[in-house]
Chain A
Amino acid sequence: DTAVSQTPKYLVTQMGNDKSIKCEQNLGHDTMYWYKQDSKKFLKIMFSYNNKELIINETVPNRFSPKSPDKAHLNLHINSLELGDSAVYFCASSQRAGGWETQYFGPGTRLLVL
Protein backbone atom coordinates (compact mmCIF):
# COMPACT_ATOMS: atom_id res chain seq x y z
CA ASP A 1 0.00 0.00 0.00
CA THR A 2 2.81 2.41 -0.88
CA ALA A 3 1.53 5.98 -0.99
CA VAL A 4 4.16 7.40 -3.37
CA SER A 5 6.05 4.89 -5.49
CA GLN A 6 8.88 5.32 -7.96
CA THR A 7 10.45 3.08 -10.58
CA PRO A 8 13.15 2.12 -11.00
CA LYS A 9 14.80 2.21 -7.59
CA TYR A 10 18.27 2.07 -9.14
CA LEU A 11 19.38 3.23 -12.56
CA VAL A 12 22.94 2.85 -13.88
CA THR A 13 23.58 4.14 -17.37
CA GLN A 14 26.19 5.57 -19.70
CA MET A 15 26.74 9.24 -20.48
CA GLY A 16 24.70 10.40 -23.43
CA ASN A 17 21.84 7.96 -22.90
CA ASP A 18 18.19 8.94 -22.42
CA LYS A 19 16.29 7.56 -19.43
CA SER A 20 12.93 7.93 -17.69
CA ILE A 21 11.85 7.68 -14.07
CA LYS A 22 8.21 7.04 -13.19
CA CYS A 23 6.22 8.15 -10.16
CA GLU A 24 2.74 7.25 -8.99
CA GLN A 25 0.76 8.32 -5.94
CA ASN A 26 -2.40 6.67 -4.62
CA LEU A 27 -3.23 9.38 -2.08
CA GLY A 28 -5.68 11.22 -4.33
CA HIS A 29 -3.46 14.31 -4.22
CA ASP A 30 -3.64 17.09 -6.80
CA THR A 31 0.01 18.12 -6.74
CA MET A 32 3.23 16.25 -7.47
CA TYR A 33 6.89 17.22 -7.35
CA TRP A 34 10.34 16.14 -8.48
CA TYR A 35 13.32 16.81 -6.22
CA LYS A 36 17.03 16.17 -6.76
CA GLN A 37 19.26 15.18 -3.81
CA ASP A 38 22.97 15.44 -4.53
CA SER A 39 25.85 13.64 -2.86
CA LYS A 40 25.92 16.22 -0.04
CA LYS A 41 22.24 15.46 0.68
CA PHE A 42 20.99 18.87 -0.51
CA LEU A 43 17.32 18.58 -1.49
CA LYS A 44 16.31 20.90 -4.31
CA ILE A 45 12.98 21.14 -6.05
CA MET A 46 13.02 20.73 -9.82
CA PHE A 47 9.39 20.68 -10.97
CA SER A 48 5.86 20.66 -9.67
CA TYR A 49 2.57 19.81 -11.35
CA ASN A 50 -0.91 20.64 -10.11
CA ASN A 51 -3.75 18.78 -11.80
CA LYS A 52 -1.45 17.93 -14.72
CA GLU A 53 -0.39 21.56 -15.12
CA LEU A 54 3.23 22.65 -14.64
CA ILE A 55 3.40 25.22 -11.82
CA ILE A 56 7.04 25.14 -10.75
CA ASN A 57 9.95 24.93 -13.15
CA GLU A 58 13.22 25.70 -11.39
CA THR A 59 16.49 26.42 -13.15
CA VAL A 60 16.92 22.95 -14.57
CA PRO A 61 18.63 22.08 -17.89
CA ASN A 62 16.07 21.54 -20.64
CA ARG A 63 17.41 17.99 -20.98
CA PHE A 64 15.01 17.28 -18.10
CA SER A 65 11.38 17.06 -19.17
CA PRO A 66 8.56 16.17 -16.79
CA LYS A 67 5.27 14.74 -17.99
CA SER A 68 2.05 14.26 -16.07
CA PRO A 69 -0.41 12.04 -17.95
CA ASP A 70 -2.90 12.31 -15.07
CA LYS A 71 -3.04 13.58 -11.48
CA ALA A 72 -1.68 10.36 -10.06
CA HIS A 73 1.41 10.13 -12.24
CA LEU A 74 4.43 12.32 -12.83
CA ASN A 75 7.30 11.03 -14.94
CA LEU A 76 10.74 12.51 -15.51
CA HIS A 77 12.58 12.04 -18.78
CA ILE A 78 16.25 12.93 -19.03
CA ASN A 79 18.01 13.31 -22.38
CA SER A 80 21.73 13.11 -23.04
CA LEU A 81 22.66 12.13 -19.50
CA GLU A 82 25.76 13.75 -18.00
CA LEU A 83 28.00 12.71 -15.11
CA GLY A 84 26.61 15.57 -13.02
CA ASP A 85 23.12 14.13 -13.27
CA SER A 86 24.14 11.37 -10.87
CA ALA A 87 21.98 11.87 -7.78
CA VAL A 88 18.93 10.55 -6.00
CA TYR A 89 15.68 11.78 -7.50
CA PHE A 90 12.63 11.95 -5.24
CA CYS A 91 9.03 12.27 -6.24
CA ALA A 92 6.59 13.79 -3.74
CA SER A 93 2.93 14.70 -3.61
CA SER A 94 0.64 17.00 -1.63
CA GLN A 95 -3.13 17.40 -1.35
CA ARG A 96 -3.05 20.79 -3.04
CA ALA A 97 -0.49 23.21 -4.43
CA GLY A 98 1.14 25.58 -1.99
CA GLY A 99 4.29 25.68 0.10
CA TRP A 100 2.13 25.29 3.22
CA GLU A 101 0.90 21.85 2.14
CA THR A 102 2.39 18.71 3.65
CA GLN A 103 4.49 16.82 1.13
CA TYR A 104 4.85 13.04 1.09
CA PHE A 105 7.97 11.61 -0.51
CA GLY A 106 8.62 8.46 -2.48
CA PRO A 107 11.55 6.11 -1.79
CA GLY A 108 13.82 7.71 -4.41
CA THR A 109 15.54 6.64 -7.62
CA ARG A 110 19.31 6.37 -7.40
CA LEU A 111 20.76 7.41 -10.75
CA LEU A 112 24.40 6.75 -11.55
CA VAL A 113 25.80 8.03 -14.84
CA LEU A 114 29.09 6.43 -15.90
Chain B
Amino acid sequence: GENVEQHPSTLSVQEGDSAVIKCTYSDSASNYFPWYKQELGKGPQLIIDIRSNVGEKKDQRIAVTLNKTAKHFSLHITETQPEDSAVYFCAASLGGFQKLVFGTGTRLLVSP
Protein backbone atom coordinates (compact mmCIF):
# COMPACT_ATOMS: atom_id res chain seq x y z
CA GLY B 1 0.00 0.00 0.00
CA GLU B 2 0.97 3.63 -0.18
CA ASN B 3 3.06 4.70 2.79
CA VAL B 4 5.71 7.33 3.46
CA GLU B 5 7.30 7.34 6.90
CA GLN B 6 9.14 10.42 8.11
CA HIS B 7 11.50 10.83 11.08
CA PRO B 8 11.97 12.53 13.40
CA SER B 9 8.63 14.16 14.15
CA THR B 10 10.39 17.03 15.94
CA LEU B 11 13.98 18.24 15.67
CA SER B 12 15.63 20.97 17.72
CA VAL B 13 19.05 22.30 16.71
CA GLN B 14 21.24 25.27 17.51
CA GLU B 15 21.78 27.91 14.87
CA GLY B 16 24.66 26.90 12.64
CA ASP B 17 24.19 23.16 13.19
CA SER B 18 23.08 20.75 10.49
CA ALA B 19 19.65 19.11 10.40
CA VAL B 20 18.75 15.82 8.74
CA ILE B 21 15.24 14.52 8.11
CA LYS B 22 14.69 11.02 6.77
CA CYS B 23 11.86 9.41 4.85
CA THR B 24 11.19 5.88 3.67
CA TYR B 25 8.63 4.83 1.10
CA SER B 26 7.03 1.54 0.21
CA ASP B 27 6.20 1.77 -3.50
CA SER B 28 9.14 0.65 -5.62
CA ALA B 29 7.59 2.43 -8.63
CA SER B 30 7.84 5.86 -6.95
CA ASN B 31 10.05 8.11 -9.06
CA TYR B 32 9.59 11.65 -7.75
CA PHE B 33 10.43 12.89 -4.25
CA PRO B 34 9.73 16.53 -3.34
CA TRP B 35 10.31 18.28 -0.04
CA TYR B 36 8.01 21.00 1.20
CA LYS B 37 8.46 23.63 3.93
CA GLN B 38 5.37 24.86 5.75
CA GLU B 39 5.68 27.99 7.84
CA LEU B 40 3.11 28.86 10.48
CA GLY B 41 -0.20 29.86 8.93
CA LYS B 42 0.97 29.26 5.35
CA GLY B 43 0.69 26.61 2.68
CA PRO B 44 3.49 24.11 1.96
CA GLN B 45 6.17 25.52 -0.33
CA LEU B 46 8.42 23.33 -2.48
CA ILE B 47 12.06 23.74 -1.44
CA ILE B 48 13.79 20.98 -3.36
CA ASP B 49 12.92 17.81 -5.24
CA ILE B 50 14.72 14.82 -6.69
CA ARG B 51 13.84 12.29 -9.35
CA SER B 52 14.77 8.65 -9.37
CA ASN B 53 17.52 8.96 -11.97
CA VAL B 54 19.56 11.14 -9.60
CA GLY B 55 21.21 10.19 -6.30
CA GLU B 56 21.80 13.62 -4.86
CA LYS B 57 20.77 17.21 -5.48
CA LYS B 58 21.99 20.39 -3.84
CA ASP B 59 20.68 23.94 -3.67
CA GLN B 60 22.80 26.23 -1.50
CA ARG B 61 22.32 25.08 2.12
CA ILE B 62 19.87 22.29 1.37
CA ALA B 63 20.50 18.93 -0.23
CA VAL B 64 18.50 15.79 -0.81
CA THR B 65 19.84 12.27 -1.20
CA LEU B 66 17.99 9.28 -2.60
CA ASN B 67 18.70 5.58 -2.14
CA LYS B 68 16.31 3.73 -4.43
CA THR B 69 17.53 0.30 -3.37
CA ALA B 70 16.76 0.97 0.27
CA LYS B 71 13.72 3.10 -0.60
CA HIS B 72 14.74 6.05 1.48
CA PHE B 73 15.57 9.69 0.92
CA SER B 74 16.81 12.44 3.19
CA LEU B 75 16.82 16.21 3.48
CA HIS B 76 20.00 17.86 4.75
CA ILE B 77 20.09 21.48 5.87
CA THR B 78 23.51 22.92 6.72
CA GLU B 79 24.31 26.07 8.69
CA THR B 80 20.75 26.27 9.97
CA GLN B 81 19.21 29.66 10.68
CA PRO B 82 16.20 30.61 12.83
CA GLU B 83 14.19 31.26 9.66
CA ASP B 84 14.58 27.58 8.79
CA SER B 85 12.18 26.83 11.66
CA ALA B 86 9.06 25.30 10.11
CA VAL B 87 7.34 21.97 9.45
CA TYR B 88 8.99 19.98 6.66
CA PHE B 89 7.18 17.35 4.61
CA CYS B 90 8.62 14.74 2.33
CA ALA B 91 6.48 13.15 -0.37
CA ALA B 92 6.72 10.38 -2.91
CA SER B 93 4.85 9.86 -6.15
CA LEU B 94 2.63 6.82 -6.16
CA GLY B 95 3.63 4.64 -9.10
CA GLY B 96 0.84 4.27 -11.64
CA PHE B 97 -1.31 6.86 -9.87
CA GLN B 98 -1.54 10.57 -10.38
CA LYS B 99 -0.82 11.66 -6.85
CA LEU B 100 1.76 12.33 -4.18
CA VAL B 101 1.77 10.64 -0.79
CA PHE B 102 3.06 12.88 1.99
CA GLY B 103 5.07 12.00 5.06
CA THR B 104 3.81 12.91 8.51
CA GLY B 105 5.94 16.04 8.83
CA THR B 106 8.94 17.13 10.92
CA ARG B 107 8.75 20.21 13.09
CA LEU B 108 12.22 21.83 12.96
CA LEU B 109 13.13 24.40 15.57
CA VAL B 110 16.37 26.33 15.16
CA SER B 111 17.39 28.20 18.30
CA PRO B 112 19.59 31.31 18.05
Q: Which residues of A contact B (CB under 8 A)?
A: 4, 31, 40-45, 48, 50, 55-56, 90, 92, 97-108
Contact = CB atoms under 8 A, between A and B. Distances in A.
Contacts of B95: 99
A107 B38 CA distance: 10
Given A98-B98, A100-B93, A102-B34, A41 B104 contact: yes
Interface in B18-34: 30-32, 34
B97 A99 contact: yes
A107 B98 contact: no
A103 B46 contact: yes
A48 B99 contact: yes
Interface of B: 30-32, 34, 36, 38, 41-46, 49, 51, 87, 89, 93-95, 97-100, 102, 104-105
B62 to A, nearest CB: 16
A91 B44 CA distance: 10
A104 B36 CA distance: 10
Contact of B87 (A41, A100, A101): A41
Contacts of B43: 4, 90, 92, 105-108
Q: Which of A4, A43, A44, A108 has the most CB of B within 10 A?
A: A43
A49 B42 CA distance: 23
B105 A99 contact: no
A76 to B, nearest CB: 15
Nearest to A88: B43
A17 to B, nearest CB: 24
B87 A99 contact: no
A99 B99 contact: yes
Contacts of A99: 30, 32, 93-95, 97-100
Nearest to A33: B99
A100 B51 contact: yes
Contacts of A102: 34, 46, 49
Contacts of B31: 100
Given A56-B97, A98-B98, A105-B43, 5 more contacts: A41-B38, A56-B99, A90-B43, A90-B44, A105-B44
A100 B93 CA distance: 6
